[in-house]
A and B are shown apart, each in its own frame.
Chain A
Amino acid sequence: MRPVYAVSGGVSKFARARPELDFRGMVKEAYDYALTDLHLTPQRAREIVDGTICSYFSDHFTRQLKAGSMVQDYLGLCPKPGKRIEGGGATGGLAVQSGWEAVASGRFDICVVYGFETMSRVNTWKGNEFIALASDTNFDYPVGGFYSGYYAMMVVRHMKEFGTTVEQMALVSVKNHRNALHNPYAQKRRQITIEDVRRAEMVAWPLTMLDICVMSDGAAALILCSEDGLNTLHKATGHTPLPAKITGVGGGLDAMRMADRPHGEVILLPHEKPEDYRGLNYPGVHSFRAGRTAAKAAYQMAGITNPLEELDFIELHDAYTSSEIQTYEDMGLCRYGEGGKFVESGTPFMPAVDYGYHFPEQGRIPINPSGGLIACGHPVGATGIMQGVFALWQLQGSIHTHFGSDVLQVKNARRGAIHSHAGTGTYVVISILEKGE
């Protein structure tokens, strides 16, 4: 396999609705931003891009099949090869890994990964119905198909099993909304309190409106290269790109129905011991076996043996405050069951931002410095690619350039992870990115 680098990215603002641009226009905006950052013109890009990966989740939202072909011609990239990737909420993260595969295999030297979702085209509750169709339509959807309900059941079991509290979950919302105040790409930018989260309207007990990400329109694009691709870019632009190397990729799947999650033993990471989990029925509905499997593979490939010590930041899939807590555990940042205490300690907050609370260990490993899905929004096919773009900017040290302020720049960021998650934990992918030499 050849080394693969991320060199540039762009995000087309995530918003409740973007009626002025369709999916092609939004991707074009993100793509053009990525090209400009490379000092590359669309005409020159047309000559040197080898192929594309297109990411969008739902044909129901799009009501346009084969929308990827339409993006490709709009970007002026026909007749180059490309394909569409779909994997529920993890679609964007899967697309980034497909781009990695295309470059690592030697097929492409320069690959554009682009994604979008246009969720404003139906009302919120119809949108929830479309998303719930990504649960078993014989046994799950007709009983009350509603993803917030599924996640609520998972965290209720987490609370019972481990003593996790709604206030700990609310802290995730406080953190991500507050971080987003400094991210101009985010949809919801506000300073809130634990009480605000708990007083917000109840959606599925115990999750309130502020525990849950919103639906969005938006797009993102990320350009991946081989070493030859870096040279080609240099020749084409006269500029040396500032790359981040993708040093680990991992993925995992679990049974579609959460009712089918078996009870077995915890899949251990290198820094864990079987004694840590004596008597724990795993994964049950409180944990994500696919997330743990993805983490294990990605860490192994990147040579990570203790993620808390060896990662500088993570952009992870916080569709729910509860799933951010569950994901801390899957990714081995703390032991299973300790995710609530992990957020309470302040560990996943930015070190120098005032959240209105005092934390004993604030900022040891910033999680979702961008504001995550909860504050940035979640136009599904764009989300995982957006994480890749933000991770690249962190590793380049270029957050100031792109966000207009340094507040969210993780100091001396050398290695970060992006995590994308679908269904009730049915597809999970994790990629590790490192600062280029």
Chain B
Amino acid sequence: MSESRVPEEEEGTVLFKVPLPKDLGALRELAPLIIKHHYEIDYIHSYAQDSPFFAGLANKRLLGTRCGNCNYTYATPRAHCMECGGPCDWVDLPQEGQIHTFTVCYYGSEAFLKETPFILALIEFPGVDTLFLTRVVGLDPQASSLDWIGMAVKAKFRRLSTFRPTDVYFVPIGT
């Protein structure tokens, strides 16, 4: 795609001094002063009761949870059942499923811009009541079509775990 304008940059002029008029009444007309303010922070985040899922990924296992009370099975795990409030147990999910729905992201949050275009999909598994959000790799993003829905896909795992949900991704079966 050809761009017909110069990309905007975030860097502006650094301002050191601004003149003031003698008549303070004229300050109502002063253009707003805009400064840049940097903000950065490291959070110490515990996965807490969701931790086993990430430990599973590090061992090439895709773990969901199942309610011990009503048997409802979650592809995206939760320690307590949304349907009945009972405690859930950890279970292995099938590593093969189908694309339930998907999109191709050409833009994204700033953190993911450099990875575009990428394919986001919700995967459904046989015998599992809820879905799993993941990236699909191995399809041509430009060839997106509703026919991708229902496509059989299988889980692949990063060799070196980063303890993020992207340690697992899905590829079409046969690739």
Q: Which residues of A contact B (CB under 8 A)?
A: 19-20, 63, 123, 125-126, 128-129, 132, 137-140, 142-146, 148-149, 152-154, 156-157, 159-160, 201-207, 255, 257-263, 285
Contacts and interface: CB of A to CB of B under 8 A. Distances in A.
Interface in B21-56: 31-32, 34, 37, 39, 45, 47, 50
B133 A143 contact: yes
Given A143-B165, A202-B104, 20 more contacts: A19-B32, A123-B10, A126-B110, A129-B110, A142-B164, A142-B165, A144-B135, A149-B105, A154-B101, A157-B101, A160-B146, A201-B106, A204-B105, A204-B120, A205-B103, A205-B104, A258-B122, A259-B131, A263-B129, A285-B122
B130 A156 contact: no
B110 A128 contact: yes
Interface stretch (B12-20, B75-83, B86-94, B153-161): B75-83
Contact of B107 (A20, A204, A257, A261): A204
9 contacts: A20-B31, A123-B10, A140-B133, A145-B108, A148-B107, A159-B146, A205-B103, A261-B130, A285-B131
A240 B71 CA distance: 61
B102 A153 contact: yes
Contact of A157 (B39, B47, B100, B107): B100
**5 cross-chain pairs, A with B, having the tightest CB-CB distances, nearest first:** A152-B103, A129-B109, A157-B101, A259-B131, A125-B110
Nearest to A131: B109
A340 to B, nearest CB: 14
B84 interface: no
Nearest to B148: A156
B173 interface: no
B32 A143 contact: no
A255 B39 CA distance: 31
Nearest to A17: B34
A18 to B, nearest CB: 9
Contact of A128 (B45, B109, B135): B109
Contact of A203 (B83, B107, B112): B107
A263 to B, nearest CB: 8
Contacts of A261: 130-131
A173 B37 CA distance: 36
B149 A139 contact: no
Contacts of A153: 101-103, 120-122
B129 A149 contact: no
A129 B102 contact: no
Contact of B76 (A139, A160, A204): A139
Nearest to B112: A144
A160 B110 contact: no
B120 to A, nearest CB: 5
B120 A259 contact: no
Contacts of A260: 74, 76, 78, 82, 130-131
Nearest to B169: A143
B165 A146 contact: no
A259 B146 CA distance: 19
**Could you say which of A132, A201, A202 has the most chain B C-beta atoms within 10 Å of its C-beta?**
A202
Contact of B134 (A138, A143, A146, A257): A143
A259 B133 contact: yes
Given A19-B32, A138-B47, A139-B76, A128 B100 contact: no
Contact of A144 (B32, B108, B132): B108
A153 B124 CA distance: 14
A203 B106 contact: yes
A138 B100 contact: no
Contacts of A263: 129
B101 A156 contact: yes
B143 to A, nearest CB: 11
A146 B101 CA distance: 16
Contacts of B75: 259
A217 to B, nearest CB: 12
Given A125-B110, A153-B121, A205-B103, A143 B144 contact: no
